[in-house]
Amino acid sequence: MKVWVKALSLLASVSFTLLAEPALQLEGQLTQGSLLRGKAPVGSQVFFNDIELPVSSDGRFVFGIGRDAPLEHQLTWQLDGKQHITPLSFTVRQYDIQHVNGVAQKYVTPPAEVTERIHRDNQQVRAVRQTVSGLNYIFDTPVMPAKGRISGVYGSQRVFNGEPRNPHYGLDVAAPVGAAVIAPLGGTVLLAEDLYYSGLTLIVDHGFGISSTFMHLSKFDVAVGDAITQGRKIAEIGATGRVTGPHLDWRINWQQERLDPALLPGLLMPE
């Protein structure tokens, strides 16, 4: 039997919000970087701003906003010719700036001969993150994919060897090479590749446009197309790609929008 305990206190707690419209429920934090899960009356069409969301047969849906997204949005649902609009006001977040020295210069300023490889890597990742399947694992209670010290958080901006880089979009777990990485939710493996920046990288589809990315691995335990269950060992932590030490970089994506794994509703830590 699997036993789960509450996630580490340093991970943000997630609230359940009942909107002013009693027929519509929303679960998650109304803050930048958050993933939110909702439920509308069965048969509804649901829109986040002007984006129509996939809705399950029992009315469930999911969406999110990015690190620096505007704070004012709206959720619209319509049924039987009637439209209901719910304004959503998100809170702004503050992010840490991290200075990281000792990174190999080829990863800070890649040599010209790897530019094409980086371009191909980016195209591969973008293509698989377009997946919107009917899998419903994203509505399960997620668990942390690894045990270890949280060494990096979503939204922080890193300065490599004194040169500012793009913000960090993952949750880093520091652990030894070979430590187990488990599936935080069930899903299907979309990508298992050695990429220039992220090293051995897995992407797993959880359904409704939501995927997990696992980076800097040392070993894959699954292959593209594999159906995986929550808690299954899928890989081992490593130090591949642009790193200064072994760790897992775990990311949550809503298609191309990068969200904060720590804000997944109900996130648990494996005992």
86/201 Cα distance (integer angstroms): 38
Residues 140, 103 share a domain: yes
The mean pLDDT of 155-180, rounded to a whole number, is 86
Write down which residue in 29, 63, 89 finishes a domain: 89
Same domain, 182 and 48: no
Radius of gyration from C-alpha coordinates of the chain? 19
What average pLDDT does the segment 217-223 reach? 98
Which DSSP state fits 102?
-
At which of 35, 55, 89 does a domain end? 89
- Give 258 or 6, the one with higher predicted confidence: 258
Assign 12 a pLDDT band (cuts: 50, 70, 90).
very low
Same domain for 153 and 247, yes or no, is yes
User: CATH number, domain at 244?
Assistant: 2.70.70.10
Check whether residue 53 and residue 113 sit in a common domain.
Answer: no
* Domain identity same for 82 and 147: no
Asked whether the beta carbons of 222 and 176 are under 8 A apart, the reply is no
Poorest-pLDDT segment among 97-101, 116-120, 235-239, 263-267: 97-101
Whether residues 55 and 170 share a domain: the answer is no
pLDDT above 90: residue 181: yes
**CB atoms closer than 10 angstroms to residue 185:** 26
> 84 with 101, same domain?
no
Instruction: Read off the pLDDT of each residue in 75-80 and give the average, rounded to a whole number.
Output: 94
The least confident of 14-23, 71-80, 253-262 is 14-23
**Structurally, how many domains does the chain consist of?**
2
Could you give the strand order of the β-sheet that contains 60-64, starting from the edge strand earlier in sequence? Answer: 16-18, 25-27, 35-39, 60-64
**pLDDT number for residue 107:** 64
Which of 33, 66, 89 finishes a domain? Answer: 89
In a shared domain, residues 147 and 247: yes
Regarding whether 131 and 101 lie in a shared domain, the answer is yes
Q: What percent of the chain has pLDDT over 90?
A: 75
- Residue 192 and residue 225: Cα distance in Å, rounded? 10
Looking up residue 50, the CATH number of its domain turns out to be 2.60.40
Question: Where are the extended beta strands (E) located within 107-154?
Answer: 149-152
Q: Are residues 158 and 84 in the same domain?
A: no
Q: Which residue range is the domain that position 54 belongs to?
A: 4-89
Please give the pLDDT value at position 106.
64
Query: From CA 248, how far away is CA 218, in angstroms rounded?
Result: 10
Question: Is residue 130 located within the same domain as residue 31?
Answer: no
Residues 6+ apart with CB under 8 A from 177: 218, 236, 237, 238, 239, 246
In terms of domains, do 84 and 165 share one?
no
